[in-house]
DNA sequence: CGACAACTTGACGGGCGTCAACCGGAGTGG
DNA sequence: CCACTCCGGTTGACGCCCGTCAAGTTGTCG
């Protein structure tokens, strides 16, 4: 658990570099943040609803999700995250966490003291801008998820989730539509799409049978991406990936 | 259509003042923004998906919603807005609109040139902070909506939407749980909750019959707020209203 | 008083949840 | 090296919540 691992911040610097133009000085300032890295198992809670974190959690390797629970204990996953994503940037300006953050695979995370992050955003407007832009893209993704769970049928819903995950993996350099690996269980796909794991399984089987996707365990191959986009009602504009 | 209506910016200044501490100078700078006000009918589009607005739209009076359409033309409302809300702040940093913004009642809106807003956030960190905080709260509300449409049954879902609307109206000085008025049709409630207008009607009748709410046209009275919170699975923490 | 939008209610059907059983692979311990 | 456990995945049977369709009512505005 090194106290200051430069490599841990690289994925973040890369991601912010995709969001906005960062000067070499901005990038250097970012990379010199003090961090504590940690390896955690799948299912580990990084933030729990109600807490007021004093450190900010950066995902260096692996996958995580944000989720909320309803009164019956039903879980709704509201987003998935991967290498380079900051998982609780909102606590820079909000007090208590309004949702949980949990790993869905073994992961490496880096903790950055909130005070240092605050200072960095104060001193470096370009970095504040990149963070704000990241927040706005997050919000856009949430809006698309409201549409996905509210107004699409089960098959389209699952396909859409797969498309978004494929697109984001591709942007993060973790695969391509032609081949990427799902880190999550079918139950987690269900919690993300507002379905049950049984029905997710049925929909995946149908997508496979109809040759929309090609499954081998958790490895997904999508040979006809345009066809998939159509089936999934997926338009990547909401990801705002073009800088 | 006055070119510079000071009163139009008051609701915004009040709202930002609730989000963060603004110095008198910050407030004055905000209030001196050039605006063009306009009165529009219910159903008017203020922003359309795909556009890249050059002005930012502030809701001065009335109500609006953000919505997205799926491939079948189904509409999903992703948020409601009221006096003092900025409707497309995201276009400060994002290019093309990823959703529509539409009034749901006759409304007064104020257009602020994007360039002026950008400059203000550049010169006044406190205002940038307030805007960022507003963005973060928006995102929190979207997350709760994902949970609402994904993991709650129809009755709870409608009740939750009513609770949120009541809470936000109360914060904006537009009513109280004991009495507030819905500006939207039952079809719009349906589009916000991922249901159909027929089923929304059934749920409202049940909530009324069970004395959870008391309806008279679009006027809602909730005498036992704690009971309503329970029925609706509503915890206002996600609104982050305490400064 | 006619037109139209919003609201209301009933009948019926289907998409998805629930329940339950079984399979396969990975990890674990004897 | 095999038995056992456990988690995740798979499949079928059945039922309910909510969508669909359709008709009627109310209220409002011209």
**What average pLDDT is seen over chain B?**
95
pLDDT tens digits, one per residue of A28-44: 999 999 999 999 999 99
DSSP label of A179? B
Task: Spell out which residues of B between 107 and 166 contact strand D, using CB within 7 Å.
Answer: 153-155
Write out chain B residues lying below 8 Å of A150, CB-based. Answer: 76, 149, 193-194
Q: Using pLDDT thresholds of 50, 70 and 90, give the confidence band for residue B242.
A: confident
pLDDT tens digits, one per residue of A139-192: 999 999 999 999 999 999 999 999 999 999 999 999 999 999 999 999 999 999
Distance of alpha carbon A218 from alpha carbon A221, whole angstroms: 10
**pLDDT at residue number B2:** 44
Question: Which chain D positions come under 7 Å from a protein C-beta?
Answer: 7-13, 17-22
Chain B interface mutation, best of A71, A146, A243, highest count of B Cβ atoms under 10 Å: A146
Helix (H) or strand (E) holding B52, with range, is none
Q: Using pLDDT thresholds of 50, 70 and 90, give the confidence band for residue B3.
A: very low
Q: Using pLDDT thresholds of 50, 70 and 90, give the confidence band for residue A7.
A: confident
**CA dihedral (B75, B78, B83, B86) positive or negative:** negative
Q: What average pLDDT score do residues B214-221 get? A: 95
- Name residue A5's beta-bridge partners: none
Question: For every residue of chain A, which 3-state class applies, written as one string?
Answer: CCCCCHHHHHHHHHHHHHHCCCCHHHHHHHHCCCCEEEEECCCCEEECCCCCCCEEEEEEECCEEEEEECCCCCEEEEEEECCCCECCHHHHCCCCCCCEEEECCCEEEEEEEHHHHHHHHHHCHHHHHHHHHHHHHHHHHHHHHHHHHHHCCHHHHHHHHHHHHHHHHHHCCCCECCEEECCCCHHHHHHHHCCCHHHHHHHHHHHHHCCCCEEECCEEECCCHHHHHHHHCCCHHHHCCCC
Instruction: Count the Cβ atoms, other than its own, within 10 Å of residue B3.
Output: 8
Among chain A residues, CA nearest to B73:
A151
* Dihedral over alpha carbons B110, B78, A168, A21 (to 10 degrees): 10
- The fraction of chain B above a pLDDT of 90, given in percent, is 94
- Name residue A107's beta-bridge partners: A40
Contact (CB<8Å) A75/B151: yes
Q: Give yes or no for a contact between A230 and A224, defined as CB atoms under 8 angstroms apart.
A: no
Closest CB from B93, B152, B193 relative to A129: B93
pLDDT tens digits, one per residue of B113-122: 999 999 999 9
Alpha-carbon distance values, A105 to A12, A65, B3, B73 (Å): 19, 10, 56, 37
Q: Is the CB of A219 under 7 A from strand C?
A: no
Q: Give yes or no for a contact between A112 and A4, defined as CB atoms under 8 angstroms apart.
A: no
Contact (CB<8Å) A90/B136: yes
Residue with tokens 């050059």: B54
**CA dihedral (B107, B113, B117, B123) positive or negative:** negative
Report whether pLDDT(A242) > 60: yes
Closest CB from A50, A99, A150 relative to B76: A150
Contact (CB<8Å) A78/B128: no
Q: Give yes or no for a contact between B59 and B82, defined as CB atoms under 8 angstroms apart.
A: yes
Question: In a 10 Å sphere around its CB, with 0-12 CB exposed, 13-18 middle and 19+ buried, how is residue B121 labelled?
Answer: buried
pLDDT tens digits, one per residue of B92-114: 999 999 999 999 999 999 999 99
Report whether pLDDT(A84) > 70: yes
Q: Is the CB of A195 under 7 A from strand C?
A: yes
Report whether pLDDT(B235) > 60: yes
Q: What average pLDDT score do residues B157-172 get? A: 97
Write out chain B residues lying below 8 Å of A94, CB-based. Answer: 133, 136-137, 140, 240
Helix (H) or strand (E) holding A134, with range, is helix A125-151
Note the CA–C1' distance, B105 to D29, in angstroms. Answer: 16
Report whether pLDDT(B4) > 80: no
**pLDDT at residue number A218:** 95
Distance of alpha carbon B187 from alpha carbon B205, whole angstroms: 15
Report whether pLDDT(B46) > 50: yes
Q: Is the CB of A67 under 7 A from strand D?
A: no
Q: Is the CB of A237 under 7 A from strand D?
A: no
Q: Give yes or no for a contact between B182 and B165, defined as CB atoms under 8 angstroms apart.
A: yes
Instruction: Tell which phi-psi region holds residue B62, choosing left (phi > 0), alpha (psi between -120 and 50) or beta.
Output: left
pLDDT tens digits, one per residue of A218-233: 999 999 999 999 999 9
Q: Is the CB of A185 under 7 A from strand D?
A: yes
Q: What average pLDDT score do residues B152-163 get? A: 98
- The fraction of chain A above a pLDDT of 70, given in percent, is 97
Write out chain B residues lying below 8 Å of A74, CB-based. Answer: 151-152
Residue B209 CB partners (closer than 8 Å, separation 6+): none
Report whether pLDDT(A2) > 60: no
**pLDDT at residue number B7:** 83
Distance of alpha carbon B139 from alpha carbon A130, whole angstroms: 16
DSSP label of A50? T
Report whether pLDDT(B196) > 60: yes
Q: What would the two tokens of residue A111 be?
A: 């903790």
Q: Using pLDDT thresholds of 50, 70 and 90, give the confidence band for residue A6.
A: low
**pLDDT at residue number A3:** 43
pLDDT tens digits, one per residue of A105-143: 999 999 999 999 999 999 999 999 999 999 999 999 999
Write out chain A residues lying below 8 Å of B70, CB-based. Answer: 147, 151-152, 156, 233
* Dihedral over alpha carbons B203, B205, B210, B215 (to 10 degrees): 120
Minimal CA separation from B68 to chain A, in Å? 7
Distance of alpha carbon B45 from alpha carbon B109, whole angstroms: 12
- What is the count of residue pairs from A and B with beta carbons less than 8 Å apart? 135
pTM of the model: 0.96
Of the candidates A168, A44, A61, the residue with the CA atom closest to the CA atom of residue A104: A44
Q: Using pLDDT thresholds of 50, 70 and 90, give the confidence band for residue A5.
A: low
Distance of alpha carbon A150 from alpha carbon B196, whole angstroms: 11
Report whether pLDDT(A52) > 90: yes
Q: Using pLDDT thresholds of 50, 70 and 90, give the confidence band for residue A1.
A: very low
Report the nucleotide nearest the CA of residue A156, measured to C1': C15
Task: Spell out which residues of A between 137 and 166 contact strand C, using CB within 7 Å.
Answer: 153-155
């Amino acid at each position: 658990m090194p106290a200051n691992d430069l490599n841990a911040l690289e994925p973040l610097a890369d991601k912010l570099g995709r969001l906005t133009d960062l000067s070499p000085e901005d990038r250097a300032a970012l990379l010199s943040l003090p961090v504590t890295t940690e390896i955690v198992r799948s299912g580990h809670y990084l933030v729990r609803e109600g807490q007021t974190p004093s450190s900010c959690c950066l995902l260096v390797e692996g996958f995580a999700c944000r989720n909320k629970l309803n009164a019956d204990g039903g879980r709704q996953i509201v987003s998935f995250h991967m290498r380079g994503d900051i998982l609780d940037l909102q606590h820079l300006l909000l007090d208590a966490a309004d949702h949980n953050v949990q790993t869905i695979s073994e992961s490496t995370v880096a903790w950055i003291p909130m005070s240092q992050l605050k200072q960095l955003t104060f001193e470096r407007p370009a970095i504040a801008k990149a963070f704000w832009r990241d927040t706005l893209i997050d919000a856009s993704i949430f809006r698309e998820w409201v549409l996905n769970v509210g107004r699409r049928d089960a098959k389209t819903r699952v396909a859409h989730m797969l498309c978004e995950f494929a697109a984001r993996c591709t942007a993060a350099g973790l695969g391509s539509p032609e081949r990427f690996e799902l880190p999550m269980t079918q139950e987690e796909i269900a919690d993300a799409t507002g379905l049950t794991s049984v029905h997710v399984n049925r929909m995946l089987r149908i997508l496979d049978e109809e040759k929309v996707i090609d499954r081998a365990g958790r490895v997904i191959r999508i040979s006809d991406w345009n066809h998939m986009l159509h089936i999934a009602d997926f338009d990547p504009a909401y990801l705002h990936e073009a800088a």
